[in-house]
């Protein structure tokens, strides 16, 4: 039996701000329990719904110190079984009992440095010594560092392998070297340029990328992109140097949860066999619910997204007035930067029967939107993988994307002459190219309905379950554990 521990800052169904939570929630369930024991460790946020939290089992508590600014910190440990997976939670009220999941970097760095050391410290309390710790994003970047430094002398920890997975290179956990030393307890020699040092600062993710036994990222294409200056976020040199120890493994989605045939949130369930007859009901009902003009013939474009620069929203801002016309509706669900929230609110006020801006987070509404929409717009500036376009494909909303990262890898563009493709895409980060592509999609939708429905059908049957990618992770784990 091989033992793997996932360490992360979010995970469905407990806490989610983006795709990271979907991945950490779905992937552990995919492994064959005969050969793999995959468990997950998370912070115990007060935001985790009580229906789960009330059943968490208390195991033990102790104190740890991680540097002069992070001394005598309480570590409580809880355990919970859910859908066959064992979850551990690190409890500390000062750090995880807030109204938010993430705060400013200054505070986050302190609490996640604590979390990283706590993760390793609790292992001695539980009957589970992992063969490998799979770390996700910068919040867990110090785990590989501690493993190879402070904890390396102990026989218990010796030989535990680690993987650092990059879900988003934009966020690295960067602050002054002194501060990072003071909240982690890591020694000054670790902050040289070839380790955690990053220009004048210290960088948690860089620590993980330097010390982990292997690096992965969430699509092959992104693994190539981040070795270049344009996408590398100033870590391209390190990533290029370690590229023989870096693997791109594309994300999947949970096919049990995201299934239009059984999804209880939908107005009407449908499948690839009967979407031509049933899917439109979801559009009509959503139009009614959101106060849009009720007409099943409108071309409904959806956006379900964090509203940040990453997602290419300034292209939409630039061309908004030309994107919408009498035959087109736009439904937005998202939260994020104030400028984008206000932009969508402004246009929803201006065009109430054509634009609906839902500035909130709602899992249920998101699924209604995927089911209702004809097209799903995702013109990202960069996109490590993207799960939204995969959900859209499964729900028969045709993705219109920019060819970057995982979007390029998962959305094969429609080719009118070869009768293939599952979506529409454009290459350059340019609003007019986006508009041209949306208009091309509209033309097919309105003028060649049979071809459009074939695109929908190919998308719905394309396989983006975790099956293939789970095999790739197994292979990598086996290789590293030996
Ligand atoms: P990222 O992780 O960069 O935010 P992904 O496409 O990988 O992007 O994952 C986003 C996930 O979050 C998808 O499951 C998407 O449906 C969901 N999501 C984003 N915003 C919202 C929202 N406001 N309400 C509900 N779900 C959302
Ligand atoms: C990040 C990326 C997104 C990816 C997700 C899960 O949030 O922005 O592209 O799908 O992580 O890996």
Distance (angstroms) between ligand 2 centre and the Cα of 169 equals 10
Residues 329 and 228 in one domain: no
Q: In what order do the strands lie in the sheet with 201-203?
A: 174-176, 201-203, 197-198
pLDDT for position 13 = 97
Cα 391 to middle of ligand 1, angstroms = 10
Task: Provide the greatest CA pair distance for the chain.
Answer: 69
Q: What is the mean pLDDT of residues 166-172?
A: 98
State the Cα–Cα distance between residues 54 and 158, nearest whole angstrom.
Answer: 35
Residues contacting ligand 1 via CB (< 6 Å):
18-20, 22, 304-306, 333-335, 361-363, 366, 385-388, 391
Q: Which domain holds residue 422?
A: 275-461
pLDDT at position 230 is 97
98 alpha carbon to ligand 2 midpoint, in Å? 24
Q: What is the pLDDT, as a whole number, of residue 291?
A: 98
Say if ligand 2 is within 6 A of residue 167 CB. Answer: yes
Confidence band, pLDDT 50/70/90 cuts, at residue 217: very high
Q: What pTM, to 2 d.p., does this model score?
A: 0.97
Q: What is the mean pLDDT of the chain?
A: 97
Q: Give the position, in ligand 2's atom list, of the atom nearest the Cα of 383.
A: 9
User: Do 124 and 157 reside in the same domain of the chain?
Assistant: yes
Q: Are residues 439 and 474 in the same domain?
A: no
| Structure confidence by residue, pLDDT tens digits, 232-270 | 999 999 999 999 999 999 999 999 999 999 999 999 999
Q: Which ligand is nearest to the CA of 225?
A: 2
Residue of 135, 169, 231, 386 to mutate, ligand 2, most atoms within 8 A of C-beta: 386
- Ligand 2 atom 1 nearest Cα: 167
Residue 232 domain-assigned? yes
Looking at the structure, do residues 15 and 111 belong to the same domain, yes or no?
yes
Ligand 2 atom with minimal separation from the 406 CA: 9
In a domain, 221, yes or no: yes
Please indicate, yes or no, if residue 372 is contained in any of the structural domains. yes
Say yes or no: CB of residue 387 within 6 Å of ligand 2: yes
Would residue 270 count as lying in a domain?
no
DSSP for 312-374, please give it.
THHHHHHHHHHH--TTEEEEEEEEE-HHHHHHHHHHHHHSTTTEEEE-S--HHHHHHHHHH-S
Q: What is the mean pLDDT of residues 404-416?
A: 98
Q: Are 280 and 241 in a shared domain?
A: no
Determine the length of the chain. 482
Q: Is the pLDDT of residue 148 over 90?
A: yes
pLDDT at 174 over 90: yes
Pairing of strands 161-166, 132-136: parallel
Which residue minimizes the CA distance to atom 5 of ligand 2? 19
- Residue 127, pLDDT above cutoff 90: no
Q: What CATH number did the domain enclosing 22 receive?
A: 3.40.50.2000
For residue 296, the CA-to-ligand 1 centroid distance in Å is 26
Measured from the CB, is residue 18 less than 6 Å from ligand 2?
yes
C-alpha 446 to ligand 2 mean position (Å): 33
Q: Answer yes or no: do 285 and 237 share one domain.
A: no
Q: How many domains does the chain have?
A: 2
Whether residue 369 sits in one domain with residue 348: yes
* Ligand 1 centroid distance, CA of 151 (Å): 36
The model's pLDDT over 371-403, given as tens digits with 9 standing for 90+, comes to 999 999 999 999 999 999 999 999 999 999 999
The rounded Å distance from CA 22 to ligand 2 centre is: 9
Burial category of 13 from C-beta neighbours within 10 Å (exposed 0-12, middle 13-18, buried 19 and up):
middle
Question: pLDDT tens-digit profile of 416-473?
Answer: 999 999 999 999 999 999 999 999 999 999 999 999 999 999 999 999 999 999 999 9
Do 366 and 419 sit in the same domain of this protein? Answer: yes
Task: Give a yes or no: residue 263 inside a domain.
Answer: no
Query: Does the CB atom of residue 147 touch ligand 2 within 6 A?
Result: no
| pLDDT for the residue 418 | 94
Closest CA to ligand 2's atom 10: 386
Q: Is residue 363 located within the same domain as residue 309?
A: yes
Distance 89 CA to ligand 2 centre (A): 23
CA of 405 to the centre of ligand 2 (A): 10
pLDDT value for 405: 98
In a domain, 258, yes or no: no
User: Closest ligand 2 atom to the C-alpha of 167?
Assistant: 11
Name which of 440, 288, 282 is nearest 370 in CA terms. 282
Instruction: Indicate whether 470 and 447 sit together in one domain.
Output: no
| Cβ(130)–Cβ(5) below 8 Å | yes
Identify the band that residue 41 occupies on the pLDDT scale cut at 50, 70 and 90.
Answer: very high
Task: Identify whether 264 is part of a domain.
Answer: no
pLDDT in tens, 182-204: 999 999 999 999 999 999 999 99
Domain shared by 65 and 177, yes or no: yes
Alpha-carbon distance of 337 to 360, in angstroms, equals 12
Phi, then psi, of 15 in degrees rounded to 5 = -160, 135
pLDDT tens string 290-349: 999 999 999 999 999 999 999 999 999 999 999 999 999 999 999 999 999 999 999 999
Ligand 2 neighbourhood includes 218 CB (under 6 angstroms):
yes
In a domain, 414, yes or no: yes
Mean pLDDT (whole number) for 341-362: 98
Give yes or no for residue 435 CB within 6 A of ligand 2: no
pLDDT on residue 97: 98
The reply to whether 457 and 473 lie within a common domain is: no
Nearest CA to ligand 2 atom 3: 386
């Amino acid at each position: 039996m091989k033992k793997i521990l996932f360490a992360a800052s979010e995970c469905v169904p407990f806490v989610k701000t983006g795709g990271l939570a979907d991945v950490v929630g779905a992937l552990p369930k995919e492994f064959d329990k005969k050969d793999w024991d995959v468990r997950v460790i998370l912070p115990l946020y007060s935001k985790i719904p009580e229906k789960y939290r009330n059943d968490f089992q208390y195991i033990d508590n102790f104190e740890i110190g991680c540097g002069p600014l992070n001394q005598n910190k309480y570590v409580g440990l809880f355990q919970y079984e859910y859908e066959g997976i064992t979850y551990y939670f690190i409890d500390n009220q000062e750090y995880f009992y807030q109204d938010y999941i993430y705060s400013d970097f200054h505070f986050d760095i302190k609490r996640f440095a604590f979390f990283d050391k706590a993760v390793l410290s609790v292992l001695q309390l539980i009957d589970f010594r992992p063969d490998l710790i799979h770390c996700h994003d910068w919040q867990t970047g110090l785990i590989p560092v501690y493993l190879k430094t402070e904890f390396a002398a102990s026989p218990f920890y010796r030989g535990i392998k680690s993987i650092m997975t990059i879900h988003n290179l934009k966020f690295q956990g960067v602050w002054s070297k002194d501060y990072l030393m003071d909240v982690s307890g890591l020694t000054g020699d670790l902050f040289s340029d070839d380790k955690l040092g990053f220009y004048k600062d210290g960088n948690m993710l860089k620590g993980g990328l330097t010390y982990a036994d292997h690096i992965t990222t969430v699509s092959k294409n992104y693994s190539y992109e981040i070795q270049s200056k344009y996408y590398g976020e100033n870590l391209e040199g390190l990533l290029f140097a370690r590229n023989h120890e870096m693997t791109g493994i594309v994300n999947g989605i949970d096919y049990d949860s995201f299934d239009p045939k059984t999804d209880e949130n939908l107005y009407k369930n449908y499948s690839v066999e009967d979407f031509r007859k049933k899917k439109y009901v979801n559009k009509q009902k959503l139009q009614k619910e959101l106060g849009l003009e009720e007409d099943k013939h409108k071309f409904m474009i959806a956006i379900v997204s964090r509203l940040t620069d990453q997602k290419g929203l300034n292209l939409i801002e630039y061309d908004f007035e030309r994107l919408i016309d009498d035959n087109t509706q736009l439904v937005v669900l998202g939260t994020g930067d104030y400028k984008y929230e206000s932009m969508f609110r402004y246009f929803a006020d201006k065009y109430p029967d054509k634009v609906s801006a839902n500035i909130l987070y709602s899992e249920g509404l998101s699924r209604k939107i995927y089911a209702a929409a004809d097209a799903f717009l995702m013109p990202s500036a960069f996109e490590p993988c993207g799960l939204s376009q995969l959900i859209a494909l499964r729900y028969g909303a045709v993705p219109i994307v920019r060819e970057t990262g995982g979007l390029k890898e998962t959305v094969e563009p429609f080719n009118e002459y070869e009768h293939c493709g599952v979506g529409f895409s454009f290459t350059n980060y340019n609003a007019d190219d986006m508009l041209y592509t949306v208009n091309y999609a509209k033309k097919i939708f309105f003028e060649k309905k049979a071809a459009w429905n074939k695109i929908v059908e190919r998308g719905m049957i394309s396989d983006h379950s975790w099956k293939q990618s789970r095999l790739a992770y197994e292979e990598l784990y086996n290789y590293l554990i030996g």
